Amino acid sequence: MSRQKKPPILKRRVLLSSFSLNLTIMSAGCLSGKSGVISSSTESSSSSTAYDAPKFEVDNVNTAKPILLTSQIQTSDGIELNDKFDIAIAIGNAGGKKLSGKIELILVPPKDAQNQIASVTIDRTNSIPSGAAKFFKIGSFNATVTGTWALVAGDGISQVHRDYDGKFKVDEV
C-alpha cells in the first residue's frame, strides 16, 4: 500500500496557520516583563485597556478605587545620570463605580535629592470602568543622582498591587 502525499495547498495552509499563531504569541502584550516599551506621543496620555496588567480584586459595592498596578521605565537602554525619561504606569479601578479624578505619583530618589511628582488626570474621556485598567505615560523626569529610585503612590491612589515593584536604577554615565 502506498502512502498518499498531502496536497501542496494543504501544506501551505498548515505552514501559514502556524506562522500566524507564532506571530500572535510574539506580539501579545506590551507590558509583560520589564523589557518592552510602551509608546505614546503625548505626555500623561492614556492607552486602551491594559490587558497585561496584573489581576486585582474588585469591590463592586464601593465607589471607585484607584490601584497602582505596574510601572515601567520608557527606555530600552537603561537610565544614566542626567538623563530625562518617562515612566508608563497601569492604573486599575478596584471599586464599583467609574474611576475619574486626579492621581499623583512620587518619584523618590535614593539620596538627599528632591522628590519629583507627576500627576494624571482621569476624566470622562479616559475614565476607567469598574474592574478595568489603563496605561498612562508620565514624565518627563530627571535622573539627578545615581542609585535605586522608587516610584510610589501619592494622593488619589488608594491601593498598590501586592506584586508592584516601582524600583529602578540610575547608573553613572
User: Which residues form the domain of 77?
Assistant: 34-171
The x, y and z cell numbers of residue 172, run together, are 553613572
Give the model's pLDDT for residue 71.
95
Max Cα–Cα distance, the chain, nearest Å: 83
Is residue 15 included in any domain, yes or no?
no
**Model confidence, pTM:** 0.71
Is residue 149 included in any domain, yes or no?
yes
Is residue 127 included in any domain, yes or no?
yes
For the chain, the average pLDDT equals 78
Distance (Å, whole) CA 46 – CA 52: 15
Distance (Å, whole) CA 66 – CA 157: 5
Task: Write the pLDDT tens digit of every residue in 77-113.
Answer: 899 999 999 999 999 999 999 999 999 999 999 988 9
Contact 48, 142 (CB under 8 A): no
In this model, does residue 18 exceed pLDDT 70?
no
The x, y and z cell numbers of residue 9, run together, are 495547498
Is residue 20 included in any domain, yes or no?
no
Is residue 2 included in any domain, yes or no?
no
Most confident of 24-28, 42-46, 90-94: 90-94
Give the model's pLDDT for residue 56.
94
Positive or negative torsion for Cα 67, 166, 34, 41: positive
Query: Residue 53: which CATH number?
Result: 2.60.40.10
| Cis bond upstream, residue 140 (ω within 30) | yes
In this model, does residue 28 exceed pLDDT 70?
no
In this model, does residue 42 exceed pLDDT 80?
no
* C-alpha distance from residue 14 to each of 26, 60, 105, 117 (Å): 18, 45, 49, 53
* 9/159: higher pLDDT: 159
Is residue 3 included in any domain, yes or no?
no
Count up the domains in the chain and report the number.
1
Is residue 13 included in any domain, yes or no?
no
The x, y and z cell numbers of residue 165, run together, are 515593584
What is the 8-class DSSP label of residue 75?
A: -
Distance (Å, whole) CA 161 – CA 66: 10
CA 16 to chain CA mean position, Å: 32
Q: Tell me what the mean pLDDT of segment 16-44 comes to.
A: 34
Range with lowest mean pLDDT among 5-19, 41-55, 108-122, 130-144: 5-19
Contact 154, 130 (CB under 8 A): no
Give the model's pLDDT for residue 1.
54
Banded model confidence at residue 61, pLDDT cuts 50, 70, 90: confident
